[in-house]
Amino acid sequence: MASQSSGLFPIAEAAHHAKGRQKVHGLARYVSHVWEAAAIVGDDGGWRLPRKVVCRRGVAWVASPLVTSTLRTERLLLERYVPEDEESFVALFQDTRVSRWLGDGPSTEADDRALFGRIFTKVYAEDLFDVWAVRRDGRLVGHAEIKPTDVVEGYEIVYALSPELWGLGLGLELAEAIITYGFDTLGLTEVHATVAVSNKPSLAVLDKIGFEHVRDITEGDGSTTRVLTHCLAATDRTARPR
């Protein structure tokens, strides 16, 4: 089962109107201070990140010198993409069972290769937001990100898994890892997801981990996108790192 936001993975370089609402691809709109948000003041007064934090729900992360940290769950590893991931990335995004739920839907192979390149030249180079390659047993099996979005005026999670891994509970495991990172590392008090109403498996996964239906968006083609929000419980806020 692939679970992911129907919101856009914003790595293209121009803004355009799609599906009846403004979906902004421009990376400048997504510049965020996630490094500062995650950082703490060291003894010398400078900014630093803790080297290792063991978070709730069994998710661990290890800080890297750049914005994207490495996350580990029981069965998955989330880490920065490397150039050698290109073919696996393209194969994942060219699989219409996956890409039908991502952004504006399936793209050409050339567009997906360009998208992969901009992860390095834009997102990582400018520390814009967190984008992960999702691995299992050393193999690229999915994609994940958490980013600011104007659709919900907050941070949105986006994730996808290769179809051969659907039905194994990995979508729930992956979503929980990203949410935990958002709460514990970015210091968020809520995270959001936008999911096509026809994507029942994804809606079921997000419901299991505490997302609540906030509102619906009617797209230009008549389809419905469901906006979901997961709030950090007030009793949990004092226990989380600042």
Q: 189-200, pLDDT tens digit by residue?
A: 999 999 999 999
The per-residue pLDDT for 220 is 86
As a whole number, the mean pLDDT across the chain is 76
Q: With a threshold of 0.85, does the pTM exceed it?
A: no
- pLDDT number for residue 40: 30
pLDDT at position 12 over 80: no
DSSP strands (E only) in 84-240: 130-136, 139-149, 154-161, 190-196, 212-218, 224-231
The answer, yes or no, to whether residue 214 has pLDDT greater than 90, is yes
| pLDDT score for 58 | 42
Q: How confident is the model at residue 67 (pLDDT cuts 50, 70, 90)?
A: low
pLDDT tens figures, 68-115: 789 999 999 999 999 999 999 999 999 999 999 988 788 999 999 999
Give all domains of the chain, ordered by start, each with its CATH number.
Answer: 16-237 (3.40.630.30)
* Polymer length in residues for the chain: 242
Residues 6+ apart with CB under 8 A from 212: 228, 229, 230, 231
Q: How many CB atoms lie within 10 A of CB 168?
A: 13
Measured in whole angstroms, the distance separating CA 9 from the mean position of its chain's CA atoms is: 9
Find residue 72's DSSP bridge partners.
60, 77
Is pLDDT of 63 > 50? Answer: no
The pairing of beta strand 47-48 with beta strand 52-54: unpaired
